[in-house]
Structure 1
Amino acid sequence: MPFATHHKSDPRYLDLAANAHGAEKAKMMYRAVQRCPEGPLRMVEIGPGGGAAVAHLADLLAEEEPRDAVELTLIEAPGVESESLAHAMKTFGRVGTCRLKQGHAQDLCDLIPEPAHVVSASALLHELYSYGGGYGGIHTMMRNLPRALAPGGFFAYRDVYAVDAPSLHEHAVQVYEHRSWIQFIRMFVPGYLAEGTHPYHHASDDVVVRQDSRIVPAERLDPRKAAIVSAPIGVIREIQRHYITARDHVWRRGALGFVPALEGLSAGDWIDAASGHKRVHYRLFEDGSLTRQHYAMLLAVSEPYGDHFTVDGDIFDDCTDAALTEFLTLVEQGGEQAEVWQEWSVREGRETYAYMTVDELVADMAVKSADQGADAVILPRDADDVVREPRRYYNRYLRKRLSAPLTDAKQLILFSRVDLGDAVGLTEAMGALRRVCSKNSIARVHSVISDRI
């Protein structure tokens, strides 16, 4: 599947959607920096997007004592450009030097002149899987990391939480009763299975859709009737994850007539943070995107707040799904809304999130990083280097829409380059593994390390 360079460079994507977690990524990098020795500092960020993490990192570094030299290299796919990234690079100039190189993550060692003290990446696995050669691309990146990192260096990695199941091919059953979800399945699943890069090609990976107790092709689903889908749990996860990304894209494009605040202080106006219940801040546009019915309904349940409106998050989700149903209907009818759907579909609607649980990711990283002959292994050194943060707002929404929702969360891991001759470092790392990995994975990692020592 070709990389959607044009759509990945769209300012609405790079400057908004891809920047949503810049502060989070920057904090991970800064935590690694604080554990680096004094002296010159070389850092790399893979896939900087619109540069939010670059700008946040500059702010954090500006608060500490200046180092002798700070160098940040940004690795972006060829052809992907962003004005906001260029601005962030200038901002970074107050704490060090920053340069952009075009290339691919699996070629990292060829793109940097010498090993880095800190390498950072976010959601890299699914990009590599979808565009960089499947699992082979992922494993190549893992094998190259020891050479890309300086002794004692760090790899800060952030991704979506993986399905905790024995296999992504294990079948699961999901019941869909909400019209917007059923309509989305009708439009998304056939194209994803036919054109996307994914591993669901075996005879046992078939997707079976039922309505009125009869098996029907996904493309012939009736959105007005409940549907039961039996499919590999990985496909169920793709439906869930892609619905959320499509909904967010349509929001950001203003295609429903309203745009919620998804970043900044307004995005964190919690009614009850523990349960994911929030107050949504949004802007409304009288441009004909909404029917009068949707427009009147949303205003009736909202309150003015300065130059925008606020509404209970649960009510906002109901209004969104009703408007999204209308949007998807117009897309299928060939309306001008089809352009917005096509943007999302080309950019990420055929991608596969190469889900790896923390157990799988940590073990695979250790095993593959030891494959290349380097005298080091890539592992977290402390159990606190592995963090899972639930996405409470999305989980609340999913619980209200699906019969058996899969947990939506972020997993953040700070890997270290541990020298195979460092007995203390290896002991610490194996201790960390006992907190986050299965016994089988620990034995697998121990066996590889023992063979190399």
Structure 2
Amino acid sequence: MALMIGTPNHFAHEHKSAATYLDVAANDHGDEKGLLVHRALQRIESAEPHLVEIGPGGGAAVEFLATRAAKEPRPLQLTLLEAPGVTSTSLTDAIDRFNAVGSCVLVHGWAQDIGRLVREPVDVISASALMHEVYSYGGAYSGLHTMMRTLPTVLHPYGYFVYRDVYAVDAPSLHERVVQSYSAQAWLQFWRMFVPHYLREGTHPYHHHDDEVVARQNSRIVPVAELDSRVCAVIEAPVGLFREVQRHYITCRDHAWRSGVLGFRPVLDGPLSGDWIDFRAGHKRVHYALTESEWMPAMRRANLLAVSEPFGDHHVIDGDIFDAVSDVALMAFMAAAEQGDDDCARTWDSWLTREGGETYAYLTLDELLSSFAVHSIEAHPDQDAVLMPVSADDVFTRDRRYYNRFLAHRLPNPLTDAKQMVLFQNIPVSDTNTLQRGLATLQTICSKPTLARLHTAIHWRG
């Protein structure tokens, strides 16, 4: 029954395990990753709670839980489920720290095989930034639905599933057609290089004839692969595709930053990465160091230093100015990669291999909540539990303020960049009181057709 997400060759084991990615780039926001896990633990009455984290990455959430476990009066068991071939030095260190205050074991296997890898029901299962990889590498919606059906069979009654991943869009469907305009040269260059590859090679839902991307420049329809980066483009496409372009542009920019190929490397992790001028507005100072890359022209380097200030062994600059400098450098970088420059092409290809085929937004919130509920209750002929959030504050988003500020400065109609957070409880259908509380929560979020579908599934079983 389990669907192997590892069979496709395009799951980039080497790139996913690279220290610059897993130990650094993917090893942040530990408090956010562990927030709902801690909330679930406060509601669990077990004398020795057993937690499972799917896709622990660099161990940021493990670090957070180790701190919490030290204050927890009950002993905690933690099982980590990581994809085969994916390793991390920082995760190994985090496991050691957790074992000093609790019990932690690492198991390698595929996410959809959790029902076989975790042999006894557990109290909490957590997945952070993992569901989009299941979608991208594990059979698209089929892979997601397989996991949704499996999770309640691995959870105790009243256990919890903690979900954290990229927020989709505030729209009835990802296929809703919208029109956006692009005038920034770097973004037009990215559309030309990335979107044809993504639509051709990636796992995505945009296959219907109504999902066609229609780009116009100078009032004429032009193929996306032939966009002129010097001419404003008006593009009509599914809103979900625009969401993908935004998220991939940001990950590509961050990847180029970390590589040092642009001639500078900003500090993206640790205390200096949070040097805010105005947190609410997403305005920060950026700390950066110059790299030895010879690709950056001397004049551009001199201009960068002219608007920066020395700070110890590196420099600091206003984030808005740094974003403008980065866009110019990124545009030149992509043009060089397109023309075959060795360093730039290598950096572009490594990002494209690691993330270029992934789909970050695959379900709207309405679809997400209803899919978990319906597929969980259809898991097995004997299944009598349904995964739903019980309280309204168990469903929320965390805005990425810095990214949203950047997007607002570059795009006329930016889509919100955020993390979607949901705490699902495995509710027995026989518990009508808790079930009614869950349904009341969904009534404030979901559409009437969604609620009708959910009521039908529950009453059919009940």
* Contact 1:125/1:354 (<8 A) preserved: no
1:64 alignment partner, one of 47, 72, 78: 72
Alpha-carbon distance in structure 2 between the residues aligned to 1:359 and 1:198: 19
Q: CA deviation at 1:367?
A: 0.7
Cα RMSD over matched residues? Answer: 1.6
1:149 alignment partner, one of 152, 155, 165: 155
Alpha-carbon distance in structure 1 between the residues aligned to 2:263 and 2:154: 46
SS at 2:427's partner residue?
Answer: strand
* Contact 1:376/1:419 (<8 A) preserved: yes
Structure 2 residue runs without a partner (length 5+): 1-7
Q: Deviations over 1:56-106 (max 9, x none)?
A: 2101111232x2x42211111111111221111111111222122122211
Alpha-carbon distance in structure 2 between the residues aligned to 1:27 and 1:169: 32
Q: Deviations over 1:361-407 (max 9, x none)?
A: 11111111000231111111111111112111111111111121111
Sequence identity (%)? 55
Q: CA deviation at 1:435?
A: 2.6
Q: 1:267 — aligned with what?
A: 273
Q: CA deviation at 1:6?
A: 1.4
Deviates more, 1:155-164 or 1:260-269: 260-269
Q: 2:316 — aligned with what?
A: 310
Q: TM-score, normalised by structure 1?
A: 0.96
1:207 alignment partner, one of 213, 222, 242: 213
Alpha-carbon distance in structure 1 between the residues aligned to 2:446 and 2:172: 14
Alpha-carbon distance in structure 2 between the residues aligned to 1:90 and 1:191: 41
Deviates more, 1:349-358 or 1:47-56: 349-358
Q: Deviations over 1:244-289 (max 9, x none)?
A: 1100111111221222222332222222222222222222224324
Q: 2:21 — aligned with what?
A: 13
- Say whether 1:402 aligns with 2:411: yes
Query: What amino acid does structure 2 have at the position aligned with 1:430?
Result: L
Q: 1:30 — aligned with what?
A: 38
Q: 1:445 — aligned with what?
A: 454
- Say whether 1:216 aligns with 2:222: yes
2:240 alignment partner, one of 228, 231, 234: 234
Alpha-carbon distance in structure 2 between the residues aligned to 1:134 and 1:286: 41
Deviates more, 1:218-227 or 1:285-294: 285-294
Q: 1:349 — aligned with what?
A: 356
* Contact 1:129/1:354 (<8 A) preserved: no
* Contact 2:205/2:362 (<8 A) preserved: no
SS at 1:172's partner residue?
Answer: strand
Q: 1:280 — aligned with what?
A: 286
Q: 1:115 — aligned with what?
A: 121
Q: 1:43 — aligned with what?
A: 51
Q: 1:171 — aligned with what?
A: 177
* Contact 2:157/2:427 (<8 A) preserved: yes
Query: What amino acid does structure 2 have at the position aligned with 1:450?
Result: H
- Say whether 1:367 aligns with 2:374: yes
- Say whether 1:133 aligns with 2:139: yes
* Contact 1:46/1:75 (<8 A) preserved: yes
Q: TM-score, normalised by structure 2?
A: 0.94
* Contact 2:124/2:161 (<8 A) preserved: yes
Alpha-carbon distance in structure 1 between the residues aligned to 2:109 and 2:283: 41
* Contact 1:27/1:57 (<8 A) preserved: no
Alpha-carbon distance in structure 1 between the residues aligned to 2:436 and 2:200: 47
- 5 Å matches for 1:80-119? 80-119=86-125
Alpha-carbon distance in structure 2 between the residues aligned to 1:433 and 1:105: 27
Q: 1:431 — aligned with what?
A: 440
Q: 2:11 — aligned with what?
A: 3
Query: What amino acid does structure 1 have at the position aligned with 2:174?
Result: L
* Contact 2:168/2:240 (<8 A) preserved: no
1:422 alignment partner, one of 431, 441, 459: 431
* Contact 1:20/1:262 (<8 A) preserved: no
* Contact 2:148/2:376 (<8 A) preserved: yes
* Contact 2:14/2:86 (<8 A) preserved: yes
Q: Deviations over 1:209-235 (max 9, x none)?
A: 222222222222222222222222222
Structure 1 residue runs without a partner (length 5+): none
Alpha-carbon distance in structure 2 between the residues aligned to 1:282 and 1:125: 32
